[in-house]
């Protein structure tokens, strides 16, 4: 939780210096370059705390389902925040590239959670998001801090000195380093999809269960992503009323909170051995928002609510509020149920006394000392 607060602080600096989420080539001043070094430090601290908390939980004997839910919940929230921050550092800003980054990053997280649900283990490949992925983003922040966001607009072949090599220039588009980086991410996602399915396939075969049925449970993610993309396409793909406005960040945050709720329910189902959750009630709100915004396309009539930029802003902010309240309520209920059932505390280290009950660590130590005397 402390590590996530470092990332939230990074996000707060973005909102302070660039609330409109514009980039330099669009005329924005942007954050000072030293800010990117703080983003690198904050993310590195987050990764370090993420690794330390598991060891601390095992050392104190408090490792359990609540810790797993906390760990994955923080990671789910961090995913969207880092997409917003990283795309700003890459000089992408308000664009469909940022949307593609959001989809690819969330898809990778969903895939890992889906894999853990069916295998009972968290596999980390040779290039994993929690380790190598985070270190790569830290490197991006450091480079941006040194050279600024325009560095990432440098064509990749020019950067490599290959733009004058006909055999390469003929077949490889000379796109910017930022776009090449995102393409690399998509290739990595494709590899992770194949690896995750192989792990699930083997686990299901060992249990003599259908190795193909789990594929159906990948559908909730593309379904939820399609709803958000359809909403963003209003009034058209090239003239999105949300992407091309300061509403883009609130929309992405609402999307991220809904995703955190979605995977949170998956993790809860995993640790409690419940059935896989298919949908989410928040989808209804997002579907209504997407349908209303796209009424001109669907029925050739103006939207009922989102017929001007002010109303679009109201709907997006309300969506963010509903998503935040819904996820906060989910977390509160889950934490309350688990702590009450297990007799543990959420943010307090406890130990088991001689009867096996969880008590404050200090009181247990006093009892043990008294017994020895």
pLDDT digits (tens, 9 = 90+) for 227-280: 999 999 999 999 999 999 999 999 999 999 999 999 999 988 888 888 888 888
Q: Are 327 and 261 in contact (CB under 8 A)?
A: yes
pLDDT digits (tens, 9 = 90+) for 182-237: 888 788 778 888 888 888 888 888 888 888 888 888 999 999 999 999 999 999 99
Task: Say what the pLDDT of residue 254 is.
Answer: 96
Q: What is the spatial distance between Cα 151 and Cα 128, in angstroms, rounded to a whole number? A: 26
* Token code pair at residue 365: 């130590």
Q: Can you give the residue ranges of every domain in the chain?
A: 1-342
Q: Are 17 and 30 in contact (CB under 8 A)?
A: yes
Of the candidates 72, 261, 270, 307, the residue annotated as catalytic is 72
Task: Say what the pLDDT of residue 368 is.
Answer: 46
10: confidence class by pLDDT, cuts 50, 70, 90: very high
**pLDDT at residue 96 above 80?**
yes
Closest CA to 196 of 130, 108, 131, 262: 108
- What percent of the chain shows pLDDT beyond 90? 45
Buried residues in 147-163 as b, exposed as e (16+ CB within 10 A): eebebbbbbbbeeeeee
Which residues fall within 8 angstroms of residue 319, CB to CB, at 6 or more apart? Answer: 250, 251, 254, 285, 286, 289
pLDDT digits (tens, 9 = 90+) for 281-324: 889 999 999 999 999 999 999 999 999 999 999 999 999 999 99
* Token code pair at residue 136: 């790569």
Q: What is the spatial distance between Cα 174 and Cα 85, in angstroms, rounded to a whole number? A: 25
Q: Which of 1-10, 21-30, 187-196, 277-286 has the lowest mean pLDDT?
A: 21-30
173: confidence class by pLDDT, cuts 50, 70, 90: confident
Q: What is the spatial distance between Cα 195 and Cα 325, in angstroms, rounded to a whole number? A: 35
Catalytic residue check, 72: yes
pTM given for the model: 0.88
């Amino acid at each position: 939780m402390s590590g996530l607060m470092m990332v939230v602080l990074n996000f707060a600096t973005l909102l302070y210096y660039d609330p409109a989420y514009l980039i330099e080539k669009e005329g924005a001043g942007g954050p000072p370059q030293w800010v990117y070094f703080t983003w690198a430090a904050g993310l590195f601290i987050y990764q370090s705390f993420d690794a330390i908390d598991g060891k601390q939980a095992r050392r104190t004997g408090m490792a359990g389902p609540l810790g797993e839910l906390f760990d994955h919940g923080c990671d789910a929230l961090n995913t969207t925040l880092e997409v917003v921050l990283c795309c700003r550092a890459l000089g992408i800003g308000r664009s469909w590239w940022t949307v593609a980054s959001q989809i690819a990053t969330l898809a990778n997280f969903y895939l890992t959670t889906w894999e853990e649900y069916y295998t009972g283990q968290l596999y980390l490949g040779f290039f994993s998001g929690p380790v190598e992925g985070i270190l790569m983003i830290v490197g991006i922040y450091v480079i941006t801090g040194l050279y600024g966001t325009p560095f990432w607009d440098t064509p990749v072949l020019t950067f490599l000195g290959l733009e004058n090599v006909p055999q390469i220039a003929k077949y490889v588009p000379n796109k910017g380093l930022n776009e090449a980086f995102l393409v690399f991410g998509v290739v990595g996602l494709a590899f992770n999809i194949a690896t995750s399915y192989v792990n699930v396939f083997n686990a299901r075969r060992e249990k003599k269960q259908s190795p193909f049925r789990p594929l159906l449970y990948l559908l909730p993610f593309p379904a939820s992503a399609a709803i958000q993309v359809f909403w963003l396409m209003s009034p058209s793909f090239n003239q999105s009323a949300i992407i091309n406005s300061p509403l883009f960040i609130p929309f992405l945050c609402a999307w991220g909170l809904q995703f955190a709720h979605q995977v949170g329910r998956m993790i809860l189902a995993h640790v409690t051995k419940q059935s896989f959750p298919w949908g989410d009630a928040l989808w209804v709100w997002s579907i209504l928002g997407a349908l209303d915004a796209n009424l001109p396309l669907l029925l050739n009539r103006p939207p009922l609510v989102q017929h001007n930029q002010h109303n679009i802003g109201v709907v997006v902010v309300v969506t963010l509020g509903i998503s935040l309240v819904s996820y906060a309520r989910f977390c509160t209920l889950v934490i309350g149920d688990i702590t009450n059932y297990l007799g543990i505390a959420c943010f307090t280290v406890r130990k088991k006394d001689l009867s096996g009950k969880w008590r404050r660590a200090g009181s247990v130590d006093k009892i043990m000392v008294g017994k020895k005397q």
